[in-house]
Amino acid sequence: MNINWYPGHMKKTIEDIESKLKLVDFYIEIIDSRIPIASRNPMLNKLLQNKKGLLILNKSDLSEDEQNQKWIKKLTNEKNNAILYSSATPDSNKIVRESLKLMDEEIKRANEKGLNKGPLRAMIVGIPNSGKSTFINGISKTKSTKTGNRPGITKTNQWIRLNPKLHLLDTPGVLWPKFESDEIALNLAFTGSIKDEIMDVETLALKLIEKLNKQDENLLKDRYQLETKNQKPIEIMEEIGLKRGAKLRGNEIDYTKVANIVLDEFRKGVLGKVTLERL
């Protein structure tokens, strides 16, 4: 599949982020814990390389516990702290606490110089549909940021006064012009970071079925009560269609309906906890 989605507003967003870097002390990056590689924009990483980062592995309730711990260990270093998070159970105190911990040295240096540093200021960045808007609404206890299970909701920058010690600058989700590999592109598409409207959802679902069945043949078997061993993706897809009554006139399988069922249930975690990018 040839997957590419880079609307004009994303180019403007990158330029806007670069111009506002001087306003913040550090950044908070929302990462999809199911795809910790694909959900990190290399253009953002380059722009933010001189800032400390709090890396939030969001949707950790949808990814595998063992893999979550491995990714936390891999992503945490002298510049970045990585933490697990689920927007389903928002915790603003945790974000404030981890932010203060990340910036502890800078706060101490300011205090030693007798400077009143004031509240920490952080820029929130992430790719589309990483859960960024839901994250912000959860920790700020407002509905000021539009949310939805589709990419491209947030279109403007806005400041959120989370706490007297922490202010946040939200930015729109942004992708990059050329994906490094088909695997990166597919993982972004599987998790909904690329609009389904520009995709061939039937082929996308077939690719997801193939990937899930290779990773754990019980995922689809248990959910749809069918045999998956030694089955081709198209055969599994057709069997799901029969099980779910997804048929057209003439008793033909409604492949589009089946595709949407599989993609939707994967994205919502109905199939179980799945980490697509594994260590």
Q: How far, rounded to the nearest angstrom, does the alpha carbon of residue 196 sit from its chain's CA centroid?
A: 16
* CA atoms of 155 and 9, how far apart (whole Å): 8
268 is in an annotated binding site: no
Neighbouring-strand partners of residue 26? 52, 122
Whether 81 and 55 have beta carbons less than 8 Å apart is answered as: yes
Neighbouring-strand partners of residue 158? 170
131 is in an annotated binding site: yes
Strand-by-strand arrangement of the 158-163 sheet: 80-84, 52-58, 26-32, 120-126, 166-170, 158-163
For residue 249, give the 3-state DSSP assignment: helix
132 is in an annotated binding site: yes
61 is in an annotated binding site: yes
232 is in an annotated binding site: no
250 is in an annotated binding site: no
Phi, psi of 55 (to 5 degrees): -95, 120
133 is in an annotated binding site: yes
Look-up of token digits 């953002």: 44
173 is in an annotated binding site: yes
What six digits make up the tokens of 83?
């933490």
CB atoms within 10 A of CB 97: 14
Whether 277 and 187 have beta carbons less than 8 Å apart is answered as: yes
Whether 58 and 32 have beta carbons less than 8 Å apart is answered as: yes
* CA atoms of 190 and 199, how far apart (whole Å): 11
148 is in an annotated binding site: no
- Which residues contribute to the annotated binding site? 58-61, 129-134, 173
- Which residues contribute to the annotated binding site for GTP? 58-61, 129-134, 173
